[in-house]
A and B are shown apart, each in its own frame.
Chain A
Amino acid sequence: MGRDFAKDRSKERVKMPGRKRREEPEEIGFLTTLSVPSEGSVGLTGSWRTFRPVLDGERCNKCLLCWIYCPEACISKDLRINYDYCKGCGVCAEECPTKAMSMVKEDEEEGAAGD
């Protein structure tokens, strides 16, 4: 596929002609306008959450609506939620036709263990 653009260039050092009129090139750090595709490009966005979506496998009819509607691509096609990045927006629970997905307050779910 030649997906060369995805190569991490941010570590490449670029030599520029010396500005101090010396023979030796001067190293001025990385110089590229390319950004590298990456998950978690602003970090672990799961920390934005106050409510977390919890899936009840018994009720779920595997309609995949939560998968396609999740604005952040946090639900995989086999319906696993990635809590590292899930922002807790609630779209998946709102759109779930069987109420298999529900939003649970973060500290309540872990409440008992949280002492």
Chain B
Amino acid sequence: MRLRDFPEEELFLQGSAACQGCPGSAALRVAFKALGRNTVLCVIASCTSVLQSPYPVSALNLPTLNMAFATGGATGSGMAAAAERLAARGKFREKPTILVWAGDGGTYDIGIQALSGAAERNADFIYVCYNNEAYSNTGTQRSGATPYAAWTTNTTKGKEEWRKDVAQIMIAHGIPYVATASLAYPTDMFRKFAKAKEVKGTRYIEIQAPCPPGWKFPSAHTVKVARLAVQTGMWMLYEHENGKTTYTAGTQRIIQGQAKLLPVEEYLKAQGRFRHLFHPERDEERIAAIQKRISGLFEALQFTHKMKEHLMDIEISPRL
């Protein structure tokens, strides 16, 4: 799908309460274009609850249910069951897509129990985590998605732990579709949403969402930072279906050798939340630790890719 073929209709209405350069509204726009009008939305407590604007108006031109922080998986399951029943009674011309939209706090931390339950039951809805790597709505506290060494209001010297990887946890649930996406690659994101729409069962899509006030970069750089994340390997683009992971867009190009993996410094330096790694003096140890992890992973993936090219008839899992 080329940009010019994307639907013109905007289901995200301008003049919302989102910050300048907000990745959340940017992601909603692409998702809504791919899923279309016949979608019912559940928003979990997060910036997306706020950027809709205060009652009695809303920037989201879809039927929307605003729900409590921990309830994404449970609400999605209930909505899917309701849609199933109504469809059986012939209430729809076309059954709507159920879309749950939650932040990383609502997914990685407080919502994971309900989400895991829903995935295990393979409830029929799309769950999106837009991952701005912190609790942005309440003023940038750390979450399980905050990367190692990043500043937040409660990791003032940089987070000491490595982030967990919920997309991989969702793959381990054996659900039919898992994908990651980036704001800098809208055609890739659109394709993944359009594909997810056609799949039955629990589908999980995680979008990295660089947040200007939380990550401390100028609002104009939202897409630039998202692109650097992919180019430096800090964020990987892939989709997983039928037991197989396929790397896509920028990540695929690096693995297949068409693009170079950029040094992670370029990503870190673009954001104030990593400033303490460079000022007052360079923190070689932590920068090297981050680079080592990424380089190791990409070397393995590039090796696997080469092996596959040479030994086409031998089945090798592309996942490690």
* Alpha-carbon distance between A79 and B178 when the two chains are bound, in angstroms: 34
Query: Do A10 and B63 have beta carbons less than 8 Å apart?
Result: no
Kindly list the 7 A-B residue pairs having the minimum CB-CB distance in the complex, ordered from nearest.
A90-B220, A41-B53, A40-B15, A89-B20, A89-B21, A35-B58, A71-B26
What 1/0 flags go to B1-42 for Cβ under 8 Å of A?
A: 001101010101111111011110110011000000100000
**Contacts of A90 on B, CB cut-off 8 Å?**
20-21, 218-220
Contact A1 B37 (CB under 8 A): yes
Determine if A35 and B10 form an interchain contact, defined as CB atoms under 8 angstroms apart: no
B 53-83 contacts with A by CB, 8 A: 53-64
Q: Within 8 Å CB of B183, what residues of A?
A: 69
| Known contacts A64-B3, A71-B26: A44-B15 contact under CB 8 Å | yes
Instruction: Assess whether B61 is in contact with A37, with CB atoms less than 8 Å apart.
Output: yes
Chain B interface residue bracket vs A: 35 or more
Scan residues 208-247 of chain B and give those whose CB is less than 8 A from a CB of chain A: 218-224
Interchain CA distance A5-B37 in the complex, whole Å: 13
Chain A positions near chain B (C-beta within 8 angstroms):
1, 5-6, 10, 30, 32-45, 48, 63-65, 67-74, 76-77, 82, 84-85, 87-91, 93-95, 103
Task: Evaluate contact between B56 and A69: CB separation under 8 angstroms.
Answer: no
* 8 A-B residue pairs with CB within 8 Å: A5-B63, A35-B55, A36-B58, A38-B57, A41-B54, A68-B29, A93-B220, A94-B224
- Whether A73 contacts B14 in the complex (CB less than 8 A), given A37-B60, A41-B53, A64-B4, comes out as yes
Q: Are B220 and A45 in contact (CB under 8 A)?
A: no
B186 lies within 8 A of chain A by Cβ: yes
Are B26 and A69 in contact (CB-based, < 8 A)? yes
Q: Chain B residues with Cβ under 8 A from A43's Cβ?
A: 15
Assess whether B186 is in contact with A68, with CB atoms less than 8 Å apart.
yes
Say yes or no for B131: interface residue by CB 8 A criterion.
no
In the bound complex, do residue A69 and residue B186 qualify as a contact, i.e. CB atoms below 8 Å apart?
Answer: yes
